[in-house]
């Protein structure tokens, strides 16, 4: 175990930070004039950076609450694409957790049997689309075949957001809140009973001295299992992205144990030193402090920030601590992670902070990459400003709100550009940025990292049917009514149809977004059905369906109603 010691200041884009390392850190306040109002824009390799004063930029905002009519032709085209994917899965792999559309086979996450990953993850999309027969057959499988008595380990986070979240969302939608003409018009107890069964099993992951949930759980044995691959450390996002599901389950069952167990995680995070609200991606459960690891907005971090805001919204803005933590994190994101490319488009983007050591002292250094996963952030920033208000008035905005809205809209342009600038019209998994001073940084705003033999990196150039950009496009359209967002979403959908669609049924991941004709990877991720097609469908649906002032979406796009807690909240 490290001993506590203060380390030297480090340079990050001209910003010095102080770090204390004992498997955690503490950061001194940065002393830069008006930093929260400014972003750095580099125009040349040998020049001092210019300042972009965000508070002086005029924002395009809706002035009143808006009703958005459906575009039935495009909406039904997305529904048809969903049916193309679902019917292939139902034909070839019904009941299996995952689907492989090229080999036309299914596979399970466990060695024995599945737990309904694809069916449950897709069911609320089926409900929203009003697909009566598909719903009937899926519900019958759930009723007759689904069991959680499976003697194998399952990821706590993934099982919570996909399966528990899917069951709870289908329970909510079974009361037909948006008049989709598919339900019983009263909640279907089948889904709540299964959610209660699964929730009780997942609670076993919290049976630790630290109160932090273990990464895996044996559902049959009701036993939490640590992640040996990561030395027993716990992912920040995975531990801090169970709360929306567990809190709604607690409310439905009138059992506060789900609330208190999941909220304990946020208490630990709140009490731990952070870098202006930013957290490393791992927590050490032995000391309940952050482990010196990457700081980023992609994997193992993303949904932590997402759930801060959404917990606040989910309980009717009653838990102010989460809004405060979210606001602090937004300041940290803008201060440390937001940059502007030097290329011709001058794109707002994010970077990561990578841990390293110099003279045996830990420090963070910038790593100029952005994952597709980060594209959830534009919509989140805009949602955090809007919060269901009847109107947005720039004159009444705080500086923080003004900045967040501008960064959100600009970052969404970047996310869309990663689609619009490739040969296939689909976005790579990871993009990189040239360091300041590299002549290439003036010629191209971003690039896909490739190996020496010109073969695309196995991870970086893939498109695996991810939803984050269309999620933010959906939110941006709902909040602004700006038609360009529907145009962007339609362009992305057409590229999916052209390049990812398998004619015999289903959709497949693509190995290289800049290679035509495309080369497929034989897997159809469940989030295509639960998220990507759902957000695209809702983008073209009218705004009375899943209105953002009435529901919150979990990180797998499952819908939860905004509610007033019936028992004491604000536990931290």
- Dihedral sign for Cα atoms in the order 136, 546, 160, 246: negative
* Closest to 406 in 3D by CA, of 26, 43, 61: 61
Q: Is the pLDDT of residue 34 over 50?
A: no
CATH of 148-317+548-571, one of 1.50.10.10, 3.40.50.970, 3.40.50.720, 1.10.10.10: 1.50.10.10
Burial label for 358, CB within 10 Å (0-12, 13-18, 19+), is exposed
Measured CA to CA, the distance from residue 344 to residue 350 in angstroms comes to 17
Size of the chain in residues = 572
In degrees and rounded to multiples of 5, residue 486 shows phi and psi of: -65, -35
Q: Which residue has the higher pLDDT, 36 or 178?
A: 178
Q: What percent of the chain has pLDDT over 90?
A: 77
- pLDDT band for 60, please (50, 70, 90 cuts): confident
Architecture of domain 51-105+341-451+460-541: Alpha/alpha barrel (1.50)
The model's pLDDT over 536-563, given as tens digits with 9 standing for 90+, comes to: 999 999 999 999 999 999 999 999 999 9
Q: What percent of the chain has pLDDT over 70?
A: 87
Q: Is the pLDDT of residue 42 over 70?
A: no
Q: Is the pLDDT of residue 351 over 80?
A: yes
**Which secondary structure element, helix H or strand E, spans residue 202, and what is its range?**
helix 189-202
Burial label for 277, CB within 10 Å (0-12, 13-18, 19+), is buried
Question: Which residues, in sequence order, are CB contacts of 266 under 8 Å at separation 6+?
Answer: 240, 243, 321, 322, 325, 572
The beta-carbon contacts of 476-482 under 8 Å, at least 24 apart in sequence, are 476/378, 476/379, 476/382, 476/408, 476/409, 476/412, 477/68, 477/539, 478/68, 478/543, 478/547, 478/548, 479/62, 479/382, 479/383, 479/386, 479/548, 480/60, 480/61, 480/62, 481/62, 481/66, 481/68, 482/60
Question: Which residues, in sequence order, are CB contacts of 56 under 8 Å at separation 6+?
Answer: none
Residue recorded with tokens 């001058």: 346
Mean pLDDT of 149-157: 97
pLDDT at res. 362: 87
DSSP three-state, residue 152: coil
pTM listed for this prediction: 0.90
H helical segments located in 8-107: 72-93
pLDDT at res. 186: 77
Mean pLDDT of 434-450: 92
The model's pLDDT over 157-192, given as tens digits with 9 standing for 90+, comes to: 999 999 999 999 999 999 988 876 665 567 899 999
- pLDDT band for 396, please (50, 70, 90 cuts): confident
Q: Which residue has the higher pLDDT, 24 or 351?
A: 351
Strand ranges (E), 421-514? 430-432, 509-510
Tokens standing for residue 295: 């700081």
In degrees and rounded to multiples of 5, residue 499 shows phi and psi of: -115, -25
Residue recorded with tokens 């929260």: 36
DSSP three-state, residue 235: strand
Measured CA to CA, the distance from residue 436 to residue 177 in angstroms comes to 52
Q: Which residue has the higher pLDDT, 318 or 19?
A: 318
Domain positions in the chain are 51-105+341-451+460-541, 148-317+548-571
pLDDT at res. 59: 83
Measured CA to CA, the distance from residue 515 to residue 522 in angstroms comes to 17
Mean pLDDT of 430-452: 91
Q: Which of 36-40, 363-367, 462-466 has the highest mean pLDDT?
A: 462-466
Tokens standing for residue 215: 């990464």
pLDDT at res. 301: 97
Q: Is the pLDDT of residue 48 over 90?
A: no
Least confident window among 285-299, 329-343, 448-462: 448-462
**Eight-state DSSP code of residue 510:** E
Measured CA to CA, the distance from residue 135 to residue 126 in angstroms comes to 6
Q: Is the pLDDT of residue 236 over 70?
A: yes
- Dihedral sign for Cα atoms in the order 122, 125, 131, 136: positive
Strand partners, 350: 338
Tokens standing for residue 533: 């097609």
Q: Which residue has the higher pLDDT, 572 or 153?
A: 153
Q: Are 316 and 388 in contact (CB under 8 A)?
A: no
Q: Which residue has the higher pLDDT, 314 or 10?
A: 314
Task: Answer whether the bond into residue 514 is a cis peptide, omega within 30°.
Answer: no
**Eight-state DSSP code of residue 121:** H
In degrees and rounded to multiples of 5, residue 146 shows phi and psi of: -75, 130
DSSP three-state, residue 242: coil
pLDDT at res. 178: 87
Query: Per the annotation, does 279 bind a ligand?
Result: no
* Closest to 87 in 3D by CA, of 104, 111, 110: 104
Q: Are 361 and 7 in contact (CB under 8 A)?
A: yes
The catalytic site residues sit at 158, 302, 429, 468
Tokens standing for residue 390: 């009847």
The model's pLDDT over 304-335, given as tens digits with 9 standing for 90+, comes to: 999 999 999 999 999 999 999 999 999 999 99
């Amino acid at each position: 175990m490290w001993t506590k010691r203060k380390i030297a200041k480090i340079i990050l884009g001209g910003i010095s930070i102080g770090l204390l390392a004992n498997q955690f850190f503490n950061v001194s306040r940065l002393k830069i004039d008006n930093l929260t109002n400014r972003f750095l824009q580099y125009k040349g390799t040998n020049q001092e950076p210019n300042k972009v004063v965000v508070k002086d930029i005029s924002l395009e905002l809706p002035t009143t609450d808006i009703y958005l009519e459906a575009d039935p032709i495009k909406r039904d085209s997305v529904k048809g694409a969903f049916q193309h994917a679902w019917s292939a899965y139902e034909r070839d792999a019904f009941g299996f957790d995952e689907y492989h559309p090229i080999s036309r086979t299914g596979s399970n996450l466990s060695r024995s049997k599945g737990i309904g990953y694809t069916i449950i993850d897709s069911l609320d999309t089926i409900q929203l689309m009003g697909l009566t027969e598909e719903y009937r057959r899926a519900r019958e499988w759930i009723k007759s075949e689904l069991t959680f008595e499976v003697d194998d380990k399952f990821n706590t986070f993934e099982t919570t957001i996909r399966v528990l979240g899917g069951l709870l969302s289908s329970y909510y939608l079974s009361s037909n809140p948006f008049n989709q003409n598919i339900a019983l018009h009263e909640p279907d107890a089948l889904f709540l009973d299964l959610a209660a069964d699964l929730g009780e099993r997942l609670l076993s992951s919290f049976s630790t001295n630290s109160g932090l949930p273990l990464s895996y759980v044996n559902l049959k044995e009701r036993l939490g299992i640590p992640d040996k691959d990561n030395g027993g450390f716990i992912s920040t996002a995975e531990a801090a992205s169970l709360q929306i599901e567990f809190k709604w389950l607690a409310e439905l069952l009138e059992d506060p144990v789900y609330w208190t167990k999941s909220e304990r995680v946020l208490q630990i995070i709140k009490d731990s030193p952070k870098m202006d609200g930013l957290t490393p991606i791992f927590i050490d459960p032995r000391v309940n402090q952050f482990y010196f690891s990457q700081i980023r907005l992609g994997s193992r971090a993303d949904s932590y920030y997402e759930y801060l805001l959404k917990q606040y919204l989910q309980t009717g803005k009653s838990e102010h601590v989460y809004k405060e933590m979210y606001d602090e994190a937004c300041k940290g994101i803008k201060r440390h992670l937001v940059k502007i490319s030097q290329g011709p488009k001058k794109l707002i983007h994010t970077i990561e902070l990578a841990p390293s050591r110099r003279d045996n002292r830990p420090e963070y250094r910038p790593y100029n990459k952005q994952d597709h996963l980060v594209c959830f952030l534009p919509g989140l920033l805009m949602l955090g400003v809007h919060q269901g208000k009847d109107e947005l008035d720039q004159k009444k905005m705080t500086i923080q709100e003004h900045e967040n809205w501008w960064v959100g809209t600009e970052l969404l342009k970047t996310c869309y550009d990663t689609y619009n600038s490739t040969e296939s019209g689909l976005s790579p998994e990871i993009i990189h940025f040239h360091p300041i001073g590299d002549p290439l940084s003036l010629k191209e705003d971003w690039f896909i990292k490739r190996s020496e033999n010109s073969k695309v990196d196995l991870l970086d150039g893939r498109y695996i049917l991810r939803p984050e950009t269309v999620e933010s496009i959906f939110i941006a359209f709902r909040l602004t009514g700006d038609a360009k967002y529907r145009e962007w979403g339609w362009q992305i959908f057409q590229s999916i149809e052209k390049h990812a669609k398998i004619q015999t049924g289903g959709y497949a991941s693509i190995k290289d977004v800049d290679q035509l004709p495309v080369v497929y990877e034989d897997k159809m991720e469940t989030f295509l059905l639960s998220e990507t097609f759902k957000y695209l469908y809702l983008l073209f649906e009218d705004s009375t369906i899943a209105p953002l002032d009435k529901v919150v979406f979990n990180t797998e796009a499952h819908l939860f109603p905004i509610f007033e807690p019936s028992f004491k909240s604000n536990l931290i």
